[in-house]
Structure formats: C-alpha cells, structure tokens
Amino acid sequence: MDLTAVIRQLRREGYYVNPDDLSALSPYLTEHIKRFGDYVIDLEEPPQPLDGKLELELKTA
C-alpha cells in the first residue's frame, strides 16, 4: 500500500517510473530477519483502500 502511494505521488509530480525498476522492489524484509524478532503490526487501523490499478506507461527509445 505504501509503495503504491509513493509511486503514484512520484507520477503526479511528473517523474517517470520505469516498470522494470518496480519489478525489483519488494515490501518484504529480506535482510536482518530476526527469528523471534519484534514485528509490529497495527491491526487497529486498516490501510486506506487503493483506488484502482497502478497504471504505468512504457518509454520507447
């Protein structure tokens, strides 16, 4: 949800967002994972709903 909001904000500000770059992003922890770590999840406040699919355009050379 947070990544989508930031990507949409970048697009509104006029930045080009390359779909190939987005394919390398992940919201999941891949480093420094604690076996019995502190993973805080706020279940009291649901995330804001997304307003449709994230649309990206491809730049052609």
Token representation of residue 12: 């509104």
How do the pLDDT tens digits run along the chain, 61 residues long?
A: 678 888 889 988 999 888 888 888 877 766 776 677 776 777 888 777 777 777 777 776 5
Q: What is the pLDDT of residue 60?
A: 67
> In whole angstroms, how large is the CA radius of gyration of the chain?
15
The secondary element (H helix, E strand) that includes residue 42 is: none
Q: What is d(CA 27, CA 35) in angstroms, rounded to the nearest whole number? A: 18
pTM: 0.52
